[in-house]
Structure 1
Amino acid sequence: MGHAVIVLLAVAYGAAAGLGLPRAAYRLSVEPGEPWRRSCPRGHPLAGWLGPARCAGRRYGPAGAWAASGAVCGALAAAVGPRPEAAAYVLLAPALVLLALVDLAVHRLPDVLTLPLAAATAALLGAAALLPGAAGSWRLALLGGGALGAAYLLLFLINPAGMGLGDVKLALPLGVALGWYGWGVWLAGAFLGLLYGALYGLGLLLRGRATRTTGFAFGPFMAAGALTGVLLGGFGA
């Protein structure tokens, strides 16, 4: 199968999966301790978890999830190409977009998403390692997950007010994804996640929209850094 066809299929899959994310993002975007939402803002019961977030023609969930998911999946397919790990990255990308949407909405990364994502990332890359043409190492992937999780746990212990346990748990699947291509990619993705978040926070300070103690969703920047690292690793493999 040609590279261009793989990219087109990945974009189509990502966009289709993204169409189902708004309802899930809306239902999961609640404060800790609150039950997942079961009805729309007008009180109508919600059927299922996937699908658009509309009621009586009005949108109540995030917009553009399909475009973001399609773009991420297409970029991953373009970078990794026909290697077997591409399927793992592309399949899991919409879940990462969903986590980013929830974090942006309520500054929370639910365990119901982060922990299964960690297990799925390890399992799918483990399966990819058994196939011919794989360009990474499952052993390094697992080590990368543990290392990034430990690093974020240390940051959390040093400054609990600046980072949540959800970020620590998200670091596990991101570290697995980055470690697959080696420590150089792992270091780049980990550093860029911190850099993106720091630059965003600095921009808020300079514009007077935040103080040194203002919190913001850090998960999307972690995901963006990991995505950048995987793209670099895919192109360089």
Structure 2
Amino acid sequence: MLAAVVGAAVGLCAGVPLRAAATRYAVPPGEPWRSCLPTPYGRCPRHGERRVGPPPLSVEAVAAALGAVLGAWAPGRWLPLLVWLALFGTVLGFVDAAVKRLPDALTGPLFLGTAVLVPLTDHDPAVWLRCALAAGGLGLLFLLLHLLAPVGRGDAKLAPALGAALGLAGWRAVYGGLFYMWLVAGLWAVTLLVLRRAGRRSELAFGPAMLLGTLAALLAAAHR
């Protein structure tokens, strides 16, 4: 219980810079990154009374919830990697939901950091090989989906980092991660249809589902 409370408090504090990052990168392709420091209510002196970035307190709430979950459930040796994924995942999820893109400025550092943290998390070379194969496999799968189906190029660039993280927990976690990704995406699509917030041909952000599916699979694997 104490670990969950501490995790929630740390996540809440992290929500301030995470909101700034989400606001900075949530711009349509071709437009320059924003340079402002919004309050938790989305106000920025440069934009006057107009709200910019994610809805008020939303980033902070998500960061606090993730902090509580990781504090309560994450194994100690996986914690640095999961925190890394949670930090970038929070920003990527809000950016993708807002403008339907996953910028290279975020997916690139996420992958590089994951590649560094994987061998620090597990010292077994066989696990490193599995992580590399999982990263390549998911990357190739989502690249094919990008070429053949309405899946974004940013999703294909996000997939290798998620595959490497899932590989730490074994192939069962990799398959479970894929299942959870599509499950979350399907439930979200149905919810939007029922609420009439989207139509059958509406473009939906898949990045948040990929990130949540990965987190669900890793936490499930950690407690098997």
For normalisation by structure 1, the TM-score amounts to 0.81
Q: Give the one of 107, 113, 121 matched to 1:120.
A: 113
Match of 1:212 in 2: 200
For normalisation by structure 2, the TM-score amounts to 0.86
CA contact (8 A) 2:26 2:53 kept: no
Match of 2:130 in 1: 140
Give the helix-richer structure, 1 or 2: 2
Match of 1:20 in 2: 17
Q: Give the one of 140, 158, 182 matched to 1:150.
A: 140
Match of 2:53 in 1: 61
The number of equivalent residue pairs is 217
1:35 correspondence with 2:32: yes
Match of 2:98 in 1: 105
- Measured in 2, the distance between the counterparts of 1:144 and 1:9 equals 32
Match of 2:74 in 1: 80
> Counterpart amino acid of 2:53?
G
RMSD: 2.4
- Measured in 1, the distance between the counterparts of 2:196 and 2:9 equals 40
Q: Structure 2: 5+ residue runs without aligned partners?
A: none
Q: Give the one of 130, 150, 171 matched to 1:183.
A: 171
Q: Structure 1: 5+ residue runs without aligned partners?
A: 39-45
CA drift of 1:199 comes to 2.7
CA drift of 1:6 comes to 4.5
Deviations along 1:91-110, one digit per CA (max 9) or x if unpaired, are 33121100001011111110
- Measured in 2, the distance between the counterparts of 1:153 and 1:93 equals 23
1:171 correspondence with 2:156: no
Deviations along 1:29-78, one digit per CA (max 9) or x if unpaired, are 1111111123xxxxxxx36xx97542359553323212211221331232
CA drift of 1:21 comes to 1.5
SS at match of 2:154: helix
Percent of residue pairs bearing the same amino acid type: 39
